[in-house]
Structure 1
Amino acid sequence: MLQNRVDPLGSIITTPARGAWMGNRGLIHDDHRHIERPFRLKAWLICLLQFKDRHREVMTPRRYTELFFLDEATAFSAGHRPCFECRRPDYERFKACWMAGNPGYGFDARTSIASIDAVLHAERIDKRGFKVLHTEPLASLPDGTFILFHEQPFLLSGGRLFPWSPFGYGEAVGLPSVFEVIVLTPASTVNAFRAGYVPQTAPLATWPPTV
């Protein structure tokens, strides 16, 4: 079993659960398929599981490290964004929503994605290698955002919170009666969601439960 799944905090974990998306952060494993570092590049990507009939062994020596995510919302929370090559329409849609949601940076259509990656990198991980957290009013958060609740990652969707696991989401809980919450999804990505990018999520439990 390989250490190649990513949780909403950006940690690379070992689990038998399968993912709906692939991604990478560059070559971060050794010749024995062990993770050596959390990243090598500032471009943290979300890719298709299959693209142009390409096939390769996972964690091939001296090639980029394949990482996997439960869903796109998890990948965004970890600090990734859509790939330019295999997800061009989603990449362009995300870039447009990111710029619309973050006008303070003064970026435009000519701005390199490297400039956005630099912002995301500062929002995803600090110099000590820890996940960057921020606080926002709960009522202002869009669906698809992850927050930290009872020290665990929860997905916000439809006015409810869903506990995350590598295998899927648990039963929904109501929103806490607090003003601000700790947010896991990078701040500029949250703004991209506000501007219209809707991340894919794994199936959510119905609420109230059906009988």
Structure 2
Amino acid sequence: MLQNRVDPFGNLIKTKARGAWMGNRGVIHNENQEILRPFKLKAWIICKLQFKGRHRKIMSPNRWTELFFLDEATAFAAGHRPCFECRREDAGKFKTFWLKGNPEYAFDKKTSIQKIDEIMHGERIDRQGSKVVFEEDVHSLPNGCFVLHNDGPFLVLNKMLLPWSPSGYLQGIPFPQVGKVSVLTPKSVVNAFRAGYLPEMAVVLS
């Protein structure tokens, strides 16, 4: 079993559960298919599982490391964003909503995605390699965000908190009445969700 599944904290874990999306942080494994580092690139991306009939052998030597996510919401919480090659339409849509939700940076449509990657990198992990979180009232958060509750990751969806597991979401609980929560999804991504980007989630919306 390979250590190539990503949880909402951005950790790389081992699990038999399969993912709906693939991801990339550069070459982070060795010839023995062992993870050496959490990332090599600041561009952490979310890719389709299949694209133009390409076939890859997982964790081939000197090739970028294939990572996998339960759903897009999990990938965003970890700090990834859509790939501009295999998901050009979604990537363009995300950039548009990111720009709309984060006007304080004075970026525009001509701004390179690398500039956004720089912002997101500072929001996902600190200099000690720890997950960056911020505090916010849970009632103000849009669907698709992840928060820390009872020491675990929970998805925000329709005023409910759904506990995450590698195989899917468990029974949800109502929002707490008062108080702030620690948000796992990077702040600028939360703003992009507020502006209109709705991530794919492995749940049935009613």
Q: SS state of the match for residue 93, structure 1?
A: helix
Partner of 2:81: 81
Per-residue CA distance 1:161-210 (angstroms, 9 max, x = gap): 1000000000011111223111000000000000000000002598xxxx
Q: What's the TM-score, normalizing by structure 2?
A: 0.98
Conserved? CA contact 1:169–1:204, under 8 Å: no
Q: Distance in 2 between matches of 1:99 and 1:27?
A: 29
Partner of 2:23: 23
Partner of 1:114: 114
Write the mapping of 1:68-107 to structure 2, written as runs, cut at 5 A: 68-107=68-107
Q: Distance in 2 between matches of 1:104 and 1:179?
A: 27
Q: Distance in 1 between matches of 2:159 and 2:205?
A: 13
User: For structure 2, which runs of at least 5 residues remain unmatched after alignment?
Assistant: none
Partner of 2:59: 59
Conserved? CA contact 2:73–2:200, under 8 Å: yes
Partner of 1:194: 194
Q: What's the TM-score, normalizing by structure 1?
A: 0.96
Partner of 1:209: none
Alignment coverage as a number of residue pairs: 206
Write the mapping of 1:120-135 to structure 2, written as runs, cut at 5 A: 120-135=120-135
User: For structure 1, which runs of at least 5 residues remain unmatched after alignment?
Assistant: 207-211
Residue 55 of structure 1 aligns with an amino acid whose one-letter code is H
Partner of 1:164: 164
Partner of 2:44: 44
Partner of 2:147: 147
Pairwise CA RMSD of aligned residues?
1.0
Q: Distance in 2 between matches of 1:65 and 1:184?
A: 23
Partner of 1:35: 35
Residue 105 of structure 1 aligns with an amino acid whose one-letter code is Y
Residue 70 of structure 1 aligns with an amino acid whose one-letter code is L
Conserved? CA contact 1:98–1:195, under 8 Å: yes
